[in-house]
Chain A
Amino acid sequence: MSSTENPIRDLIQEAIDEHEVILFMKGTPERPMCGFSARTVAALDAVGRPFAAVDVLPDPRIRQELSAISNWPTIPQLFIKGELVGGCDIVSEMYESGELAQTLGANPPADAPAHAPVAAEPGAPPLQIDNDLVDRS
């Protein structure tokens, strides 16, 4: 931890450092709250590599500090080995080219669709969103 002046930024940086694959998203992998987050989760799920996920919605400061760290304005943001890989567009492109599976060291299942899976838009918002770091690894 580099400082105590910005605990939220330190926590985000720590989460990025501690998880090899971590997705900052709107909602949770089980209940994505935005089509772009849903699509990114679907691509990661299709590759089959476990990942950690952080919901940015419960506190606007998470998104603010995350964007300050990553120099990237939108959500979702995927980090692999501490480095920003990109958002929904880049992750989807990487999925379709096979680069995502390669980067994650996973073999896509034989029945994986050629195009990035399209997740349904979320319906009604969940009653409550936990802000816990969901470690799915």
Chain B
Amino acid sequence: MPTTEDLKQRIETAIPGARADVTDLTGGGDHFRATVVASEFAGLSRLEQHRRVYAVFGTEIGGPIHALSLVTKPE
């Protein structure tokens, strides 16, 4: 079961310079919320910013990670 720390580290590793703040929405280890700030989001639409974060987890979204609610911001 992924932890908030796992998700944070994976996002920060996959998106260089990103800062991620992850919370477990239900305490069940499968509904998360992440706020991600990254310089590479500059110039990307909100849709593309979210895609970038979802891409870190691939098919785990909808699988072990049932839900990942996102707030993304350029640096």
Interface of A with B (CB < 8 Å)? 36, 63, 71-74, 84-90, 93
Name the distance in Å between A76's Cβ and chain B's nearest Cβ.
Answer: 11
The distance in angstroms between the C-alpha atoms of A89 and B49, with both chains bound, is 12
Contact of A84 with B47 in the complex, beta carbons under 8 Å: yes
Given A90-B46, A90-B47, decide whether A73 and B67 contact each other with a Cβ distance below 8 A.
Answer: no
| Tally of chain B residues near chain A (CB < 8 A) | 13
Q: Does B69 contact A (CB under 8 A)?
A: yes
Contact of A89 with B71 in the complex, beta carbons under 8 Å: yes
Given A73-B62, A74-B62, decide whether A89 and B50 contact each other with a Cβ distance below 8 A.
Answer: yes
Name the distance in Å between A60's Cβ and chain B's nearest Cβ.
Answer: 10
Residues of A within 8 A of B51 (CB): 71-72
Name the prevailing secondary structure of the A interface residues.
mixed
Residues of B55-75 contacting chain A, CB below 8 A: 59, 61-62, 67-71
Interface of B with A (CB < 8 Å)? 46-47, 50-51, 54, 59, 61-62, 67-71
Contact of A89 with B54 in the complex, beta carbons under 8 Å: no
Residues of A within 8 A of B62 (CB): 63, 73-74
Residues of A within 8 A of B67 (CB): 36, 74
Contact of A74 with B47 in the complex, beta carbons under 8 Å: no
Given A73-B61, A74-B61, A74-B62, decide whether A90 and B50 contact each other with a Cβ distance below 8 A.
Answer: yes
Residues of A within 8 A of B47 (CB): 84-86, 90
Residues of A within 8 A of B68 (CB): 74
Contact of B46 with A74 in the complex, beta carbons under 8 Å: no
Residues of A within 8 A of B70 (CB): 89
Contact of B69 with A88 in the complex, beta carbons under 8 Å: yes
Closest B residue by C-beta to A88: B69
